[in-house]
Amino acid sequence: MAWQKILTVNTTQSFYRDLLAQIVQHATSKHIATISAISAPGTGYVVGDVLGYTHASALHPADFVVTAVGGGGSITGLRIRSGGSFGRRVATVAVNAGGTGYAVGNIVEINEGHVAGTDFRQRCKIRINTLSGSAAATISIWEGGGNYQDGTDPAASAATTTKIGPAAGTGSGLTVNTTMQAITGTSGLALTGGTGTGAQINVTLADTGWVTLRDDHNYTTPHGETDEKQVVLRGTVLGGDEPLIGYVSWFEESGVTDYWGLLEVVMDVYNDGLALEAQLGANPSSDVVSPNGGSYIPSLDEAEESWLSTDGRKIAGVHKTVGTTVTAYHSHYLGLFDPFGTAIEAPYPMVMFGSVSGSRTWHAGATSPADVTGITEAFRNTNRTTSMFYRRVDDGTYLGINNAEGTAFPMTITNVRNVFPIGAPQQGSGSEMDVISGEGNFAWSSTIASTTGVSPTVLLLPAPGSNAHHLLPVVVELRNSKVAPIEFGPAGRFFNFHWCGGTKTDLTTIGSEDTFTDPNDPSIVYRAFPCGVRTETYSFYALQEGV
């Protein structure tokens, strides 16, 4: 797996489109998977120092945290915090033949090195900056130079191009000269930062797990916004059953308010000649940006932070959006579910969730974004369509997943799918019923799952006798409230997402983006995020860093 923090930029395109570009860049790259040796321990370091490593082939750098030092501040322990995004990429491009019919701002893609429809990581895209008549005169690399570590390099001279965009121009005939940037080495990597000097490490690299099947820049939304991005990625899973997922960027004007973000898509089979909504098994609202329905990652057209937790099964993470008066942490997950399995649950079910269910739910002037939900939030506004979907393996239908329904448990409708933390609520009365601990009779629901979110007393405390936060796997529970017994049991879990308390052992409150260690393995570090806009002491979830 690969954990990575990113920051959106707009040096060549809008911030929200850059978010999607960086997701693709990271998912299709290699990352530092292990530290095989501290080849030079250096001197002058202290525990907690954050050290970085970058390279010309790194679209995202890697960084590390010093966990132990010896005499003179020499490093004896080091953990990976971010694995980086490394690849063999196109380093430079120059016009070989300018072609004809181009416009400034057109985006073309080198069509050598990989064949459309086959496995590849990511082709190099090029922006046309100036013209000579209608021929391209000067060009530059767009979105990082592609990713060719598992394929054939484009030609060094007269590499051909294709796929005009984002303005869907009519140019043709541009060929380019290229040079390549080799991927980073794996031994003697010099680290920078911290209080010391001289540290070097040996590492192993691993694929993050995804290949690109579509990465276009000429999509027009149903609302008429042009030049948006469409992406289709395929994951890797041992034994097959690779997930197919997609994203669509969107921008929409509604009166005086602007909205931005990414729409999520899943599908069964990919056909390069079909629109996303026409792909076999495509989920509801795929490729149709709508104010009502679908799974969305809201964004703003400004610099924003994101954290990605990515492997060949799923792309998940948290996107941070700062409004005028409110900051929200938008959780998202797209890919394979981890079922509590039997032999008949093959293929694995697909799951997708965003933080909002429609495109008109967050904007720069947001002051009370009630529509924003979180994956482990205990309460959902019943006036809103769910932003989470689970695909049944028996008939392929997409069913909505709820956080909760109103303020009452059990629900009043049949066959409900609920996000719920697996754990044993502490048995008691009064306020004690609001505590989930590691002991007691096993139960699927408790007072904590039906809270309206207004109680300041609800806590997720550490397990009795433990100094750690109580981490609970987040599962989808299948329920039927009209036929006894009401509980069907769990369908599966969101991998690497945990519901955790915002309350430390000493009853102080954990803050947004705080970290804490696993009591059984201090090398495992979790980072905690609040659910959406909520910061009650039970509305936090945790993602493991470094993996």
- 99 and 230, same domain (yes or no): no
- 203 and 69, same domain (yes or no): yes
- 119 and 230, same domain (yes or no): no
In a domain, 345, yes or no: yes
- 313 and 456, same domain (yes or no): yes
In a domain, 112, yes or no: yes
**Residue found under tokens 């056909």:** 271
Instruction: Give me 389's structure tokens.
Output: 């979907």
In a domain, 19, yes or no: no
Rounded-to-integer distance, Cα 131 and Cα 439, Å = 71
> DSSP E strands: which ranges in 480-537?
487-500, 515-518, 521-530
Q: Which of 181, 197, 229 is the last residue of a domain?
A: 181
Rounded-to-integer distance, Cα 53 and Cα 57, Å = 11
Residues of the chain under the 70 pLDDT cut: 1, 113-120, 164-169, 222-223, 286-292, 339-348, 365-385, 393-394, 403-470, 477-490, 503-507, 519, 537-538
Which residues, at least 6 apart from 289, have a Cβ–Cβ distance to it below 8 Å? Answer: 221, 222, 223, 248, 250, 252, 263, 359
pLDDT of amino acid 484: 46
In a domain, 379, yes or no: yes
Tell me: the pLDDT tens digits for 235-248? 988 777 789 999 99
pLDDT of amino acid 366: 63
In a domain, 483, yes or no: yes
- 281 and 188, same domain (yes or no): no
Type and span of the H or E element at 17: helix 15-27
pTM of the model: 0.89
Tell me: the pLDDT tens digits for 293-318? 788 898 888 999 999 999 999 999 99
pLDDT of amino acid 64: 97
Rounded-to-integer distance, Cα 272 and Cα 111, Å = 15
In a domain, 22, yes or no: no
Q: Which of 172, 207, 242 is the last residue of a domain?
A: 207
- 46 and 137, same domain (yes or no): no
CATH of the domain at 45: 2.40.10.380
Query: 3-state SS of 294-353?
Result: CCEEEECCCCCEEEEEEECCEEEEEEEEECCCCEEEEEEEEEECEECCCCCCCCCCEEEE
- 339 and 359, same domain (yes or no): yes
- 153 and 234, same domain (yes or no): no
pLDDT of amino acid 438: 41
In a domain, 57, yes or no: yes
> DSSP E strands: which ranges in 44-119?
50-53, 58-69, 75-86, 89-97, 107-110
State the total domains in the chain.
Answer: 3
- 336 and 452, same domain (yes or no): yes
pLDDT of amino acid 456: 46
- 253 and 162, same domain (yes or no): no
Domain carrying residue 199: 29-85+183-207
- 158 and 224, same domain (yes or no): no
- The one-character DSSP state at 182 is P
- 424 and 524, same domain (yes or no): yes
In a domain, 10, yes or no: no
* β-sheet with 75-86: strand ranges across: 50-53, 58-69, 75-86, 30-43, 197-207, 189-190
